[in-house]
Chain A
Amino acid sequence: MAMADTGKDMDLDGLFAQAREERLGLPESLQAAILADAAAVQAEWQAPEPEKPVRGGFWLQLRQAVGGWPALGGLAAASAAGLWIGFTGPEFLPDPLDLVTASAEVETVPYDNFDLAVLLAEDFE
């Protein structure tokens, strides 16, 4: 584009040249704000990522605390068994006392071996 098409263009060129010479400086407050922004952006990059909050409410937190679905399955099975025994009574289960006495009897039988009993009987004779 011709820069001096007319005499009027010469006026414009002079004005443009003056505008370039008098280029505005950056106001101090703006410069400070720009540099503060720069520091803030850099700080964002350097900051560790915040821990993600546990979401999902009480049940999800409980599941995670217990140890996940497998642990929760075992807990549910044990709870159901306890509830069943509570309602039906323990009749179908062996009496623990019987178990104890039965084992005591076994331990107090002196000679449960036939051969040994015969031998001892011979001794008494």
Chain B
Amino acid sequence: MTPGSAPSDDALLVLFANGDGQAAAELTARLGPRAFGTAFRVLGNRAEAEDVTQEAMVRLWRIAPDWEQGKAKVSTWLYRVVMNLCIDLKRRQRGGHVDLDAVPEPEDPARSAAETLQERARWDALQGALMQLPERQRQAVVLRHIEELSNPEIAGVMDISVEAVESLTARGKRALAKALAGRREELGYGNG
């Protein structure tokens, strides 16, 4: 790695496969929060999001020696694993018992204390509305509007066409707007 230029995720993965422990720390810092944030938004549960993130990262470590550079983006691959793990988790919950911890829970106290009540209300409102969406719509909206992935990238993550992504995000956004329509003033957006 040359000074001043950050190595790509690909390069870090190769370094990791060659035994570089610092590469693991760098990849975790880059990709971990994105994986965790996405899982949390999609699942609505911190403990489950942590489990999914840890499992996804383990799969990343294990695939490192076989990773083909330039074939796919590491972040796209990781998003895909996260989404599949979320789907598997929800499928298991529907087939068996539902984890009592799977109820959306508040942020940790230290973070909440630093936020204003209105920011908190907005966060909860968005999360609550997201949880009302069908699973695939929720995934597409989170990837598009919070993770800011392009439609082709989302298509790769979700293994669907770009047109299907556009349809999912459009329908998801309409459903979110409808769910939040009556809360404009409450959330501090006024009537304008």
For A41, what are the chain B residues with a Cβ–Cβ distance below 8 Å? 58, 61-62, 64
Residue of B nearest to A19 (CB): B146
For B108, what are the chain A residues with a Cβ–Cβ distance below 8 Å? 27
Q: Is the CB of B173 within 8 A of A9?
A: yes
For A27, what are the chain B residues with a Cβ–Cβ distance below 8 Å? 36, 50, 108
B24, chain A: closest CB distance, angstroms: 4
* A33–B28 CA distance with the chains assembled, in angstroms: 11
Residue of A nearest to B61 (CB): A41
B1 interface contact, C-beta 8 A: no
B44 interface contact, C-beta 8 A: no
A34 interface contact, C-beta 8 A: yes
A17, chain B: closest CB distance, angstroms: 9
For A10, what are the chain B residues with a Cβ–Cβ distance below 8 Å? 189
Per-residue CB proximity of A1-37 to B under 8 Å, as 1/0?
Answer: 1000011111110111011101111110011011101
* A20–B38 CA distance with the chains assembled, in angstroms: 11
- The answer to whether A24 and B58 touch (CB under 8 A), given A18-B119, A38-B16, is no
Task: Classify chain B's interface size.
Answer: 35 or more
For B65, what are the chain A residues with a Cβ–Cβ distance below 8 Å? 45
Q: Is the CB of A42 within 8 A of B16?
A: yes
Q: Which of A53-110 contact B (CB under 8 A)?
A: none
B1, chain A: closest CB distance, angstroms: 18
Q: Is the CB of A23 within 8 A of B180?
A: no
Q: Which of B42-95 contact A (CB under 8 A)?
A: 50, 53-54, 57-58, 61-62, 64-65
Q: Is the CB of B177 within 8 A of A30?
A: no
Per-residue CB proximity of B7-34 to A under 8 Å, as 1/0?
Answer: 0000000001101010011001100111
Q: Is the CB of B53 within 8 A of A25?
A: no
A67, chain B: closest CB distance, angstroms: 40
B139 interface contact, C-beta 8 A: no
- The answer to whether A39 and B21 touch (CB under 8 A), given A18-B123, A24-B40, A31-B32, is yes
16 pairs, CB–CB < 8 Å, chain A vs chain B: A1-B169, A9-B177, A11-B184, A15-B180, A24-B36, A25-B33, A27-B108, A30-B36, A31-B28, A31-B32, A33-B54, A35-B25, A37-B54, A38-B21, A38-B28, A42-B61
Q: Which 8 A-B pairs have the closest CB atoms?
A: A38-B24, A8-B177, A41-B61, A16-B145, A26-B32, A15-B126, A24-B37, A34-B57
